[in-house]
A and B are shown apart, each in its own frame.
Chain A
Amino acid sequence: MAKPIVVSHQGAESSFQLQKLERSRLYGSKRRLPVDPDGQPCTRAALTDDGEVLLLSGMTALGWFDDRGRQVETSELGAQAPDGQALAPVPSTLGESQPLEGPVSPLEVLDLAVTSIYQLSADSVSEQLATSLASGEIWRFRFNYRPDFMAETAFLLANDAGTFALIGQPAPAPYLPPNAPPPPDGADDVDGDDVDFEML
């Protein structure tokens, strides 16, 4: 079990167990499955371009390589900002108390590029925070599931169904004046092709 999300609000700590909220676990899912002439599921594999090696599941691995082709151990990896500054490792925030900031405007939540959603169940929640969430207020805190080089932004909110944390990176869109230049190339695709259940 993962460590809990711990947040502090007006000097009181609250702790929540987290469970990832996924579409397939809420609505079910749909898959397209290739079958052979006998109706049995096919196995997907890859054939190298020279036709010499048939790659089955479990035969490949991913590794980090530098620009000279040297394989790099994970323990050697670092990260740098676009300006070339080395970034310090950011530890996991799970189990560590994070101060709540806010309450925030709904616009901040709408500007979040969401990467994951967690359903929260309270181990302990302060009365002030419970009252605030029940009134519709939304709070921001730092979140990092596992140690890496960039903490994400989380929003803590509640509705009639429960309490949730939305995780992601803030990504506000620009305001457009009448003479705005055309949008940048390559930014127009809508990603994602997944399951297709009606939800409303």
Chain B
Amino acid sequence: MRTLHLADQDSRDAFIRFVSVRPPAAPERVAAGRPVGQRRFIAAGDANTHAALLERYGDQLSQALLDSDPDVDLELVGRPIERTSTVYLDSQQHILRHAPKVVEVILDPSGQETERRDPVDRAPNVAEHLPIRFTRTRLKRAVAVRRFVFARRLQLWHSDGLTYEFLSGIAQQLHDSDEMVMLAGGESAKDPLIFQLNGLPWRAFLEGRTSAEGYCLLLHLSNLELKTLPLEP
């Protein structure tokens, strides 16, 4: 069970369990009343890829395809792929016998490379000694949904009577004010939330609802604003 360390506006803090809120499962695919699933299989040998055939036949490839089916390797094609290991090939197409060096490539919105650098690991910050905290940024729900795309939702879940009081109190307060409050991490409570090593930084907004059934306290995560794309040159 994953947890986060949350402090409210009065600096009361607790470690809180959370779960992802997921959409209903997609409909099951069937054929002739029987369940079906997708499987990966071998479609061509390394001597039968389009690139290999083009190199071998050049301009005559179309005719070769008609005459002798060189794209089909009957020994391999159709073989199901179960488990595989990832390998890397160098620029000469030889298998690397050691782990490759990894560089981080920065691309601008048009896809052009702007920088290349050594990667730096980004540590998670949601379940550390320092809690994630309320910021001063509060938005009406009607404003927030027209400003951000909330791509993930986490539901905060109490584990005992004390955490129930803590979470339902926050939910009630946010419900009454019809607001979402931004949470942030780090010493200065300005950092986006990172849930796993090298995970995406998320801007997170806490939203609460209450009813006769109980409370619902949701952490809405966003990494995208509702903005128009830059014009293509």
Which 8 pairs between the two chains have the least Cβ-Cβ distance? A113-B23, A40-B91, A34-B100, A36-B90, A46-B84, A61-B43, A169-B23, A175-B213
Are B26's CB and A162's CB within 8 A?
Answer: no
Are A136's CB and B142's CB within 8 A?
Answer: yes
Within 8 Å by CB of A177, from B42, B76, B196, B213, lies: B213
A168 at the interface (CB under 8 A from B): yes
A143 at the interface (CB under 8 A from B): no
B138 at the interface (CB under 8 A from A): no
Q: Which of A52-92 contact B (CB under 8 A)?
A: 53-56, 58-68, 72, 76-82, 86-87
Are B154's CB and A190's CB within 8 A?
Answer: yes
Q: Bound state CA distance, A178 and B32, in angstroms?
A: 47
B166 at the interface (CB under 8 A from A): no
> Scoring B residues 15 to 51 as 1 if CB is less than 8 Å from chain A, else 0, what string do you get?
0011111111111111110111111111111100111
Are A174's CB and B216's CB within 8 A?
Answer: yes
Output the nearest chain A residue to B160 by Cβ-Cβ distance.
Answer: A178
Chain A residues with Cβ below 8 Å from B213 are 175, 177
Output the nearest chain B residue to A59 by Cβ-Cβ distance.
Answer: B44
Within 8 Å by CB of B31, from A33, A40, A66, lies: A66
Are B108's CB and A110's CB within 8 A?
Answer: no
Chain B residues with Cβ below 8 Å from A174 are 155, 216
A1 at the interface (CB under 8 A from B): no
Given contacts A64-B38, A66-B31, A171-B21, 15 further A-B contacts (CB under 8 A): A21-B224, A26-B229, A28-B108, A36-B90, A48-B82, A59-B42, A65-B37, A117-B149, A117-B226, A119-B228, A175-B215, A183-B155, A190-B152, A194-B200, A194-B223
B114 at the interface (CB under 8 A from A): yes
CB of A56, distance to nearest CB on chain B (Å): 6
Output the nearest chain A residue to B43 by Cβ-Cβ distance.
Answer: A61
Are B42's CB and A60's CB within 8 A?
Answer: yes
Given A23-B223, A45-B87, A199-B225: A54 touches B95 (CB 8 Å cut-off): yes
Q: Bound state CA distance, A49 and B229, in angstroms?
A: 44
A27 at the interface (CB under 8 A from B): yes
A29 at the interface (CB under 8 A from B): yes
B186 at the interface (CB under 8 A from A): no
Q: Which of B57-80 contact A (CB under 8 A)?
A: 76, 79
A150 at the interface (CB under 8 A from B): yes
A192 at the interface (CB under 8 A from B): yes
Chain B residues with Cβ below 8 Å from A122 are none
A127 at the interface (CB under 8 A from B): no
Output the nearest chain B residue to A51 by Cβ-Cβ distance.
Answer: B85
B5 at the interface (CB under 8 A from A): no
Given A110-B218, A113-B21, A184-B19: A65 touches B84 (CB 8 Å cut-off): no
Chain B residues with Cβ below 8 Å from A168 are 23
Q: Which of B179-218 contact A (CB under 8 A)?
A: 192, 195-196, 198-201, 203, 207, 209-211, 213-216, 218
